[in-house]
Amino acid sequence: MKYGMNLLLWTAGVTEQHFPLLADIKAWGFDGVELPLFDFDVVNAARVGAELKRQGLGATAVTVCTAAENPISADPAIRNAGLMRLKKAVDTAAAAGCTHLCGPIHSALGEFSGAGRTPDEWQRARDVLARAADHAKACNVTLVVEYLNRFECYFLNCAADAAQFCREVGHSHLKTMYDTFHANIEEKSISDAVRACADQLVHVHISENDRSTPGEGGVNWDQSFDALKQVGYDGWLMIEAFGLAMPELAAATRIWRRMFPSEEHLARNGLRFMKSRWQGK
């Protein structure tokens, strides 16, 4: 098992100024980090990757799609822009030494049609993600589809659908993940949800119901850890939490009040919680 920390708690873009933070995260006991990738600066990513390697930290990455670069759009030009965006994100992730690129890469974040997904949208996403996965394979990066709750997207909202999508694409470098925050909203049974995606599961976000310190909120952690153990999961447990450090990021993640004493408190206590619950099972 590997324990990681998503750097979105501090920044939407990691640069040299965050190298002391990487040292702190290593000293706190983490095995790696998840890099936010929204600006695809390959040169900067290579510098960050070199520092991660020097620090002995592994890395994954997270990105999103936009309305102008949407894999499920009816407009071929917008779909192609979505594919190009994903390829650039893969190139950036590879430059930083990331093994996985995760997120709601299937559709534009926060864009709604006013109805559920259509068969045409499903097929469009399959086509775009299959081609993106070909590029990811060539770069030795695995794309990881994340389902989100109904308030953030409409295309994939549960573990069973995300897993079925990946099965239909049928690509070695396109898999899915599990996020305890979204599952807490959408899934009727945590155990059933984890089992439903187990054959496609390669990544896990550990996220409290209020997006703050894992273990200090209302997520059903007993079921969450038990289910992951039962299916033999053995990948990253990556804390994903959001705060008020960056106003634009706080607005995007809908964080309106401070939910933890400090970022260090969240990271260190979250790591202690993950290790105690996982190793105690």
- Domain boundary assignment for the chain: 2-279
Q: What is the pLDDT of residues 28-58, one digit of tens each?
A: 999 999 999 999 999 999 999 999 999 999 9
Structure tokens at 277: 């619950």
How high is the pLDDT of residue 98? 98
pTM score = 0.96
Q: 211 by DSSP, 3-state: which?
A: coil
Average pLDDT over residues 212-231: 96
* Statement: residue 281 has pLDDT above 70: no
Half-sphere CA count of 142, side-chain side, radius 13 A? 21
Q: What's the CA gap between 114 and 196, in Å, rounded?
A: 27
How high is the pLDDT of residue 183? 98
How high is the pLDDT of residue 244? 82
**Other Cβ atoms within 10 Å of 129 Cβ, number:** 25
Give me the chain's average pLDDT, please: 96
Please name the amino acid found at residue 265. H
* Statement: residue 261 has pLDDT above 80: yes
Q: Which CATH architecture has domain 2-279?
A: Alpha-Beta Barrel (3.20)
